[in-house]
Structure 1
Amino acid sequence: MIDAIKNQQSKINNLRVGTLPLLLLALVILAYLAFLFFAPQSPPKPDDTWTRIQNEKIVRIGIDPSSPPFIVDDGKGNLSGFDVALANELAHKWGVKIQWVYTGYDGLYDALNAKQFDLILSALPYNPSKTQDVFFSHAYFNGGPVLIVRGDDTTTTDLAGLQNKTIAVELGSNGDAAARKYQKRYNLNLKQFNTSQDALRALQRGAVNAAIVDPITFIDFQRAEADTGAKTWRVVGKSLADENYIIAVRRDAPTLLREINAVIDSLRRAGKLDEMQKENF
């Protein structure tokens, strides 16, 4: 009996000696992992581009100033447009000055990656084929096609309200493609024209019930035809397809990208982007 008790105690002692170090090691590992997961992380180091902008107090912006109403040069070096207003907001928020770098539109991406400037802000639409080369900001304007009706049409609230009606589109445009997506669903009669302006003139004559064009073309038409009542025409609903305008930065500038997005998001929440659009369009 005494020998059996001694053997059992020996087994317990051996268990304690063999397992305690392993339990302690496991607890140490768990504590370390918990620290890594829950401990506050130090902020990432700012990228070199953002650091230089802050140190020199200058942001270099690549542009092709031939895209009104986004950005245009009056021939005397004076720039105006929506993109210029947005650039000024960025510079104001960051406390820096702007250095404009003129570049041909087709060469903007190459010049950006050659570090000739810090970012592109020049009527630049989102291009998925470029996402391996650059970072794109949040959208600051949607240039996708919109549904337009005359001022005396007070009942149309969406495409569903135009069932069996005739809609003017520009042949081969994004508006044409968007309209075809809904053609069968709402039994739309699409009438194609050579240009978006021709589509809007058909609406003006009363030859169609509505038109689908890009918002810039519509705004230009309203301005040109203000005396004919086009100012009373309205956009129905949201864009029928996205054609987002963005800012591009190099992929080695994530801090700059975050700062750009922060300003764009702030301007959108405050309604400032809409104000800038009205002022420049």
Structure 2
Amino acid sequence: MTDSALPPPTVRDVVGALDARYPRAWAEQWDRVGLVLGEFDTPVRTVLCVVDCVPETVEEAVEAGASLIVAHHPLLLKGVSSVAPDTYKGRIVHRLIKADIALYVAHTNADVANPGVSDALAARLDLVGLRPLVPAEPGSPAAGEGRGVGRVGELAAPMPLAELTAFVARRLPATAAGVRAAGDPQRLIRTLAVCGGAGDSFLNDAGRAGADAYLCADLRHHPASEHLATGGPALLDAAHWATERPWLDELAGWLRAQFPVTSLVSDLDTDPWTVHAVSGK
């Protein structure tokens, strides 16, 4: 709840706190994080936390009276030569500016944070004894204090892969894609590695970490097949949005604890896949 007795923070105040929690130096060099647009001196009374800044989540922010969107995925990741209103991203930029809504992005810098995106995913699955799947490289800006990509932890109780897949599907936000698994359905899973978002570049790391199974998004046919053929952990593949959506709850709670603001979370499913049918049925 917002404490009306306290003055609202400004965009500058909230950006400063977010930058301190998720330093921009922790982001990958190719990433684009931080404040994208907005007036620094605008008061912030309502914040909307989203995975994707798309027209639908922007309208959610407008309807909620938000003056700041905190998004996980960058709106302007690749260079553009125009934000004209007849372009997709240009329309979003113009709508935000006209509605006086600032936009802030925390992406790979939030992925490696502790707590970060994968911690929230692990918490949804009640994992304990967490450690980074890929610790931040020594000497890098994010090194130390348990930071790094992904998390590895122990399940509250071991379960077969088939049962674990159903458990994950129940615990994650619902999407048309659901959750699929690769490996022996009866394989007993005790140690689970997780990574919010695309994670097939860390398949070998899951094996080295001693995981019995690895959960992430956007797994591809050939890397997954070759991974299993060489004795790697079982795999669980969920929708990209579903693996990152849990972080929004943690983020919103932290914002409410830092500032007298109303911090909302978008439950709009922005996964592009909207229909799922089982082949042959």
Q: TM-score, normalised by structure 1?
A: 0.31
Q: Which has the higher contact order (CA 8 A, sep 6+)?
A: 1
Bigger radius of gyration, 1 or 2? 1
Q: TM-score, normalised by structure 2?
A: 0.31
Report which of the two has the higher share of helix.
1
